DNA sequence: TATATTTAGTGCGATATCGTACAAAAAGGT
DNA sequence: ACCTTTTTGTACGATATCGCACTAAATATA
């Protein structure tokens, strides 16, 4: 009789998958027209980490293949949220900058997401969430390294 | 000057997105040929929760749209991992059962994933992971309900 | 019973994701 | 300087995802 009790690791990654699914669906339900959670992620990243980074750096930050990021960025360009300038230090590369519209849209998205987050925040106060972050971040960093090695 | 410091909620969902990305990529790198993390999830679910459930119930469990689950299940059928029988209690519905091959493949997948999990388990012992699960599960359940209401 | 509403699953179309292969530039080795 | 290897971004094709619309069956209502 083989094991049917799942190891906590499977449960963990299963929960993470579902949480990702749910949070994405919930966010996108509140975003305007064709805006996607991936676009939101990029805009947020640019504001937080700083503009002027390259597509590859962004892809690495989100741990998605660079082709995926190319596609996502082209979607942002099509929506007029970002612009791609040549990289003065590397002719192969590009630099990503927010447009004014992109900054504005990001503000709106944050606001929209925040209202949707209200109920959530009531049940899960900031300090409770913050308590989770170190472990999750540590796991992320570990898997990040493992990805290169394994 | 608008806020650039992200709320812990954004960080949380960002980490979850990346963790999902990484764990999926890591798992699929160890799966045979065309097998996908979604297939693995379905097989695992059938073993854990029990066979004979319906496509819709599985879709709800993973919180994906039912069309997505239809597609995933048809992939499993094409790989000979599951079979769909008519639901004796509801002629519209189907019941999902593992095939012998499906059970075998699931065993192999679990083994393959487990070897890849070895390093991870060293750094994150079971009890550390278990300590995280209640909060994550609670969040999942909350968002689950919120999805219907909002 | 007859009709309306809800529910389960699927076909279809649009789009996202991602692996492969590629071109151009950069970096390293001779 | 020349050649090789690595790196950056992209085009392309295959497949996954998912919203919409539909059929058939079940359920609720008149």
Would B85 be classed as within a structural domain?
yes
Q: Are A17 and B62 in contact (CB under 8 A)?
A: yes
The per-residue pLDDT for B148 is 57
Q: What is the pLDDT of residues A33-60, one digit of tens each?
A: 778 889 999 998 999 889 999 999 999 9
Q: Can you say how many angstroms the Cα of residue A54 is from the centroid of all Cα atoms in its chain?
A: 16
Residues in chain A where the model's pLDDT stays below 50: 1, 3-4, 150
Pairing verdict, β A94-98 and A82-86? antiparallel
The per-residue pLDDT for A150 is 40
Nearest to B105 by CA among B64, B50, B46, B65: B46
Determine the 3-state secondary structure of B147 from DSSP: helix
Q: Total domain count for chain B? A: 1
CB contact under 8 A, B133 and A64: no
The per-residue pLDDT for B120 is 86
The per-residue pLDDT for B74 is 95
The per-residue pLDDT for B144 is 79
Q: Is the dihedral of CA A144, B76, B56, A6 positive or negative?
A: negative
The per-residue pLDDT for B150 is 40
Residues in chain B where the model's pLDDT stays below 50: 1, 3-4, 150
State how far the Cα of A86 lies from the Cα of B64, in Å rounded to an integer.
39
Would A130 be classed as within a structural domain?
no
Would A150 be classed as within a structural domain?
no
Cβ neighbours of residue A23 closer than 8 Å, sequence gap 6 or more = B13, B16, B17, B143
Expressed as residue numbers, the domain containing B101 is: 27-120
Q: What is the CATH number of the domain that holds A57?
A: 1.10.10.10
Which residues of chain A neighbour B16 with C-beta distances below 8 Å? Answer: 16, 19-20, 23, 136
Nearest to B141 by CA among B67, B59, B40, B63: B63
Cβ neighbours of residue A93 closer than 8 Å, sequence gap 6 or more = A54, A55, A56, A86, A87
Q: Is the CB of A98 under 7 A from strand D?
A: no
State how far the Cα of B119 lies from the Cα of A114, in Å rounded to an integer.
37
Nearest CA in chain A to B128: A135
Would you tell me which residues 6-45 of chain B have a C-beta closer than 8 angstroms to some C-beta of chain A?
A: 6-27, 29, 37, 41, 44
The per-residue pLDDT for B6 is 63
Would A105 be classed as within a structural domain?
yes
The per-residue pLDDT for B98 is 96
């Amino acid at each position: 009789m083989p094991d049917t009790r799942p190891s906590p690791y499977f449960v963990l990654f299963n929960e993470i998958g579902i949480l990702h699914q749910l949070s994405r669906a919930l966010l996108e339900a509140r975003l305007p027209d064709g805006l996607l959670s991936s676009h939101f992620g990029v805009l947020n990243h640019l504001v937080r980490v700083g503009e002027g980074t390259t597509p590859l750096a962004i892809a690495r930050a989100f741990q998605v293949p660079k082709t995926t990021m190319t596609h996502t960025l082209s979607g942002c360009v099509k929506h007029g949220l970002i612009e791609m300038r040549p990289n003065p230090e590397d002719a192969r590369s590009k630099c990503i900058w927010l447009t004014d519209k992109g900054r504005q849209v990001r503000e709106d998205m944050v606001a929209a997401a925040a209202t949707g987050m209200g109920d959530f925040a009531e049940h899960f106060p900031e300090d409770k969430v913050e308590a989770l972050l170190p472990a999750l971040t540590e796991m992320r960093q570990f898997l990040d390294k493992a990805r290169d090695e394994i």
